[in-house]
Structure 1
Amino acid sequence: MTPGAKPGSGFAWPDTLCEPVRSLPSHSRLWVALSGGLDSVLLLHLAAFCHRSRVPLGAIHVNHQLQPNAGEAEAFCREQCGVLGIPFVARRVIVNTGGNDSGAGGVEEAARKARYAVFEQILEPGDLLLMAHHGDDQAETVLFRLLRGSGVAGLAGMPRSRKLGAGHLARPLLDLARDDIVRWAREAGLSWVEDPSNVDQVYDRNYLRHAILPRLKARWPGLARRVRHSASACADSEFLNGRLAEIQWAGCSDGEGRVLVAGVKALTLSEQRNMLRWWIRKRGFHPPQLSDWRQVMHDLLEAGEDREPELLGEGFSLRRFQGRLYLVPDPVDVARRVATIAPGEKLKWGEWTLGLEPGTNPEQTIPPIRVSTRQGGERLRFSPRESSKSLKNWLQEKAVPPWERARLPLVFAGSEGVGELIAVGDLWCSEQYSGSAPAAGWRLIVERDCD
């Protein structure tokens, strides 16, 4: 533990520190991301000084259980919040340190994901999470991303605020230098816990922080300010890229969340790449880092009609079907067994939710209602007066993409082997189990939870 130089109860917090902490986005409750390190401890005391009498204030500590002093850090954070009278929430996580990402960078990224997952679980609408990143952190982030080959979105650095889970996060200290933060923390008499991993230069960020940035700052005074200006310019450029993509999307979209191949072909390669990256981010995914977008776009747009080109990303894929591009999230696992739906209950089936709701005569006895995926040879009958039709042919006529057909929940009424197909996903439902007065006495509800 590192102590400050003197007790801090009567410290006069300077306006330079207080003003950005007071000028926050709209919120109804504040949280501070508290690691126990110098920066977050300072921010905790600042938030308590500036906001405790205005809105509810709490602290969140994520214990990654990676360092020998992890328990000490959690206990210290709890003690600090107790002294200040601030509610304290601690969450312990297990960080995956194995597999192909077991190197230092992999551990750093895995810990970050685990940390942000906890924040997303806790934040509610109206909540604002304060994070203690400062100007040196921003410079470090921009340089780190530059070395990784990031585009303008990455070189814009960490945003001052953004949505996080049901709430938002804010970084009020981004314009402040670490040297000033250290000086203020010592003058205020604050104590904090040092993370031993912060000096281990096997981690890329620590190498930049301890071996590279000091030399750059010595050669170019005001480095953080210079990097901040460049990051701001990149942020402006990324904003304009997004506006252009949004305009071009309006001309290429089919109105149902898909992109017309003909519209994409009319754009330049740079515009194609910009719009697809914007689309991917808008759907909540990260665009893949590709070395040859030209080849990727050629494959997606020019492959023969008998081909099924796709671009794989983390958690999604881009696919083409009948002159349109689809952004397809990775599917939720579908049960391989046959499941049944009990009247009045809900059944979760992959990304689908199915249920039987009472109609005009819920006392009426109905046969067993079963759910399964396609096995082959299924037929459906739209009414007793019509002949049955091959489900395979009907799905083709309905232009259901091939990757969707095998995952659609098929609902049957009757015992296995003799049952009648009564619903195909949310595409069709027998009149016996639909409408305001279903003849079967129960209404079948089939809803898709995500696109």
Structure 2
Amino acid sequence: MTPGAEPGSGFHWPEALCAPVRELPDHARLWVALSGGLDSTLLLHLAAHCHGCSGAVRAIHINHQLQPNASDTESFCRGECERLGVPLVVERVTVDGGRSSGAGIEEAARKARYAALEALVGKGDLVLMAHHGDDQAETVLFRMLRGSGVAGLAGMPASRELGTATLVRPLLGFERAELERWARVAGLSWVDDPSNTDQRFDRNFLRHTVLPLLRDRWPGLNRRLRHTAESCGESEALNRKLAALQWQAIGGDRDRLPVDGLKTLPLAEQKNLVRWWARERGFHAPTPGDWQQVIRDLLFAAEDREPEFRSDGFSLRRFQGDLCLVPDRGPLPDAPVNLEPGEGVAWGEWSLRLESVVTPEQSLPPIRIFTRQGGERVRFRPDGPSRSLKKWLQEVGVPPWERARLPLVFAGSEGAAELIAIGDLWCSEQYSGGAHAAGWRLVVERECD
């Protein structure tokens, strides 16, 4: 821990530091993301100074349980909040990822941290994070070295959505040296994270080796990189506006983009529109190495082909003249599941149940749920002919990736079972409408994304 000295008599926080912390959007509750380090400890004291009288300030400490001093850091955060009269929530998380890879564990810790924050805060809350100008410069340079486009080079935004809350970074306009000077004048103590000096991590290598050399050569580097980030941010805002206009012009839907409309755009605008679409759906924008080949495969492959591009959490596929954005789904049961009267069954993104509508007069036959295995046939009317399920699904336009996940509901003993429902697309009149078999109605519902 780095101890602080006693503040001088008559110490007052400077208005320059207080202003961005005081002038915040309206909010229900104000949370400070407290790591115990210099920056977040300073931000905690500023928030308590500027908003403490309102009783709205709270703190969140995410304990990643990765460092030997993790317990000591948590104890420090508890003590600091107790002295300031600020309620503290501690969330311990388990970080998955390749610990042998610096970038791997860094990214895994970041994802765990933000997921925990999002789960804890509520609608209308503000979450303050203590990123400063040095962090911004480091982020811009790091993303440049990773080959990011203008969205990445825009750096960290001053504010953004965090679930139903809003994340705000009020200290981005200050350099770390300035914050440390005021922390020492104020007599603050803080905990140094030992991992921050480990140069196996890419960000630490930039922070301790590369950036000091660049600053020696080019004084005012933070200011230069901040201007770069601002310019890229403006370009990205224009890109988003263009994509939204083109989306509307070519008739985009939530999960589909007309291929013919996309073909009318230049490659750069196709890429921009697809990236915007993915972000609007809540995914990270895809960054394939060869966009031209990806676009060519998706838009111009022969009609009998089923091109696919997989990205983080979703895939892009083509079907019946549309480019489709398909979220990744969890695994399905690998064996049939019995559906008992009055009990519900979760099946991937589906839920199924048998509801009692009248007093049952007789027992139900066995009801089982499974997916397509091939060769299934369906009889839409009791006295009608049976039809191939595969051909019917093709006729009604169900995409191949959804056909494989549809819950099929069978009634009867194994070997003589009859198909009585196909997802929420069709249900036998014996289990729906006014003719409920044995007094039970089958309800099949699909979750919305």
* Paired position in structure 2 for 1:346: 344
- Deviation per CA, 1:397-421: give whole Å up to 9, x if none: 1121112111110112233332221
Q: Name stretches of at least 5 consecutive residues in structure 1 with no aligned partner.
A: none
Alpha-carbon spacing, 1:438–1:19, altered in 2? closer, same or farther (3 Å): farther
> Would the aligned equivalents of 1:408 and 1:425 in 2 still touch at CA under 8 Å?
yes
- Deviation per CA, 1:263-285: give whole Å up to 9, x if none: 11111101110001111111111
> In 2, distance between residues paired with 1:373 and 1:292?
36
Query: 1:59 is aligned with what amino acid?
Result: A
Q: TM-score, normalised by structure 2?
A: 0.94
> Would the aligned equivalents of 2:319 and 2:399 in 1 still touch at CA under 8 Å?
yes
> In 1, distance between residues paired with 2:434 and 2:28?
43
Within 5 A, what are the aligned runs for 1:177-216?
177-216=175-214
> In 1, distance between residues paired with 2:8 and 2:355?
63
1:226 aligns with 2:221: no
3-state SS of paired residue (1:59): strand
> In 1, distance between residues paired with 2:239 and 2:110?
28
> In 2, distance between residues paired with 1:270 and 1:75?
52
Runs of 4+ aligned structure 1 residues displaced above 4 Å come to 7-10, 360-365, 436-440
1:31 aligns with 2:31: yes
- Deviation per CA, 1:108-139: give whole Å up to 9, x if none: 11111111121122122122211100111111
How many aligned residue pairs are there?
449
1:156 aligns with 2:154: yes
- Deviation per CA, 1:128-154: give whole Å up to 9, x if none: 211100111111100110111100000
Query: 1:45 is aligned with what amino acid?
Result: H
> In 2, distance between residues paired with 1:425 and 1:228?
52
Q: TM-score, normalised by structure 1?
A: 0.94
Aligned-pair identity (%): 65
Within 5 A, what are the aligned runs for 1:327-366?
327-361=325-359, 365-366=363-364
Query: 1:276 is aligned with what amino acid?
Result: V
> In 2, distance between residues paired with 1:443 and 1:254?
37
| CA apart distance, 1:30 | 1.5
| CA apart distance, 1:219 | 3.1
* Paired position in structure 1 for 2:61: 61
Alignment partner for residue 424 of structure 1, among 418, 422, 425?
A: 422
Alignment partner for residue 412 of structure 2, among 411, 414, 420?
A: 414
> Would the aligned equivalents of 2:355 and 2:442 in 1 still touch at CA under 8 Å?
yes
Query: 2:159 is aligned with what amino acid?
Result: S
- Deviation per CA, 1:411-451: give whole Å up to 9, x if none: 12233332221211121122232347746533322222245
> In 2, distance between residues paired with 1:364 and 1:10?
86
| CA apart distance, 1:57 | 2.3
Query: 1:266 is aligned with what amino acid?
Result: T
* Paired position in structure 1 for 2:388: 390
> Would the aligned equivalents of 2:361 and 2:438 in 1 still touch at CA under 8 Å?
no
| CA apart distance, 1:54 | 2.4
* Alignment root-mean-square deviation, CA: 2.0
| CA apart distance, 1:340 | 2.2
3-state SS of paired residue (1:347): strand
Query: 2:16 is aligned with what amino acid?
Result: T
Query: 1:76 is aligned with what amino acid?
Result: F
Within 5 A, what are the aligned runs for 1:240-279?
240-253=238-251, 255=253, 257-279=255-277
> In 2, distance between residues paired with 1:63 and 1:418?
56
| CA apart distance, 1:328 | 0.9
> In 2, distance between residues paired with 1:94 and 1:256?
34
Bigger mean CA deviation after superposition, 438-447 or 274-283: 438-447
- Deviation per CA, 1:215-257: give whole Å up to 9, x if none: 3233333322222222111111111111111111123345463
* Paired position in structure 1 for 2:288: 290
Alpha-carbon spacing, 1:243–1:443, altered in 2? closer, same or farther (3 Å): farther
1:303 aligns with 2:322: no
> In 2, distance between residues paired with 1:272 and 1:247?
13
Q: Name stretches of at least 5 consecutive residues in structure 2 with no aligned partner.
A: none
* Paired position in structure 1 for 2:95: 95
3-state SS of paired residue (1:12): coil
1:4 aligns with 2:4: yes
Alpha-carbon spacing, 1:359–1:256, altered in 2? closer, same or farther (3 Å): farther
3-state SS of paired residue (2:204): helix
Alpha-carbon spacing, 1:337–1:408, altered in 2? closer, same or farther (3 Å): same
- Deviation per CA, 1:49-108: give whole Å up to 9, x if none: 11233253221111222222111111111111111122222222222353xx73211121
Alpha-carbon spacing, 1:244–1:70, altered in 2? closer, same or farther (3 Å): same
| CA apart distance, 1:371 | 0.9
* Paired position in structure 1 for 2:19: 19
Bigger mean CA deviation after superposition, 136-145 or 120-129: 120-129
